[in-house]
């Protein structure tokens, strides 16, 4: 009969063997998943699902000059799609700059990923770039929600951002095209756009947008203007002359004036027919804007 000590040794040996096999499998998996190599630029095709659509030509030329001197410091990331063809996952700026620099081949990381993983990796990699404009980030996040079927909470975890930040980006996609273009070209900031996205009233969004451009409002001034509007709207609902008591034609005029002035215009009218129009403002800049609207 085998001694207890011998049996325990045998069990430990078997467990050790299992652990070794498991480790080898993990190493083999990693070696298949990421491999470093050099491939011809002509063998690499760009990823059409790439969320970034705009590349600055001057920036590409500067990077090309750097590559001529120092080479490519960070390899491109690709996946193999046939014997001698690769698809770009990340690094399109380096890819373009390498062509500009006249390189024939480039260092790459070869990843073993499927179409879904490819899309997710490309989108997340681009979202984490600092030079991506806010709309490009918003579109990339939306694609992750729709095509990768991620909830806002899971999406926030994947891209290492707060859930509120993700929601703020996604709201940008509901803004009118002219405001989106202004955000893309830098005429307004992400802070301005976030304030504008706080209301679903397109006419009001456009009025606020015009005021930002015409009076060069800062983000804080825009936030103050929006607070003034919302507070005035709240007071008008609580007051004795509630807007719901106004005739339909006056309600329409009030709504039109709100859109025109970008503030909480309030029409007050007594049963006798007497009344007044209240147009609040919080500073001289807002007052001057209101006066300019009157002049027009």
Active site residues: 92
Are residues 223 and 189 in contact, defined by beta-carbon separation less than 8 angstroms?
no
Centroid of chain to Cα 209: 20
């Amino acid at each position: 009969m085998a001694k207890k000590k011998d049996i325990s040794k045998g069990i430990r040996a078997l467990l050790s063997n299992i652990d070794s096999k498991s480790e080898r499998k993990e190493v083999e998996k990693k070696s298949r998943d990421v491999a470093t190599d050099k491939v011809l630029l002509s063998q690499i095709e760009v990823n059409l699902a790439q969320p970034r659509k705009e590349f600055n030509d001057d920036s590409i030329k500067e990077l090309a000059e750097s590559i001529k001197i120092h080479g490519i410091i960070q390899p491109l990331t690709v996946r193999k799609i046939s014997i001698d063809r690769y698809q770009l996952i990340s690094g399109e700026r380096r890819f373009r700059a390498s062509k500009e620099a006249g390189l024939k081949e480039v260092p790459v990381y070869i990843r073993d990923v499927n179409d879904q993983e490819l899309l997710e990796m490309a989108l997340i990699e681009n979202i984490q770039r600092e030079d991506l404009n806010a709309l490009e980030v918003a579109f990339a996040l939306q694609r992750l929600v729709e095509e990768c079927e991620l909830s806002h909470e899971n999406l926030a975890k994947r891209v290492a951002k707060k859930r509120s930040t993700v929601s703020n980006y996604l709201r940008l996609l509901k803004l009118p095209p002219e405001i989106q273009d202004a955000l893309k070209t830098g005429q307004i900031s992400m802070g301005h756009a976030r304030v504008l996205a706080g209301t679903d009233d397109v006419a009001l969004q456009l009025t606020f947008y015009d005021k930002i451009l015409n009076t060069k409002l800062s983000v804080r001034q825009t936030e103050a203007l929006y607070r003034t509007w919302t507070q005035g709207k709240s007071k008008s609902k609580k007051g004795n002359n509630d807007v719901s008591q106004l005739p339909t034609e006056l309600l329409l005029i009030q709504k039109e004036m709100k859109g025109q002035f970008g503030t909480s215009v309030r029409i007050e009218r007594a049963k006798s027919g007497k009344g007044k129009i209240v147009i609040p403002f919080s500073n001289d800049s807002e007052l001057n804007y209101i006066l300019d609207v009157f002049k027009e």
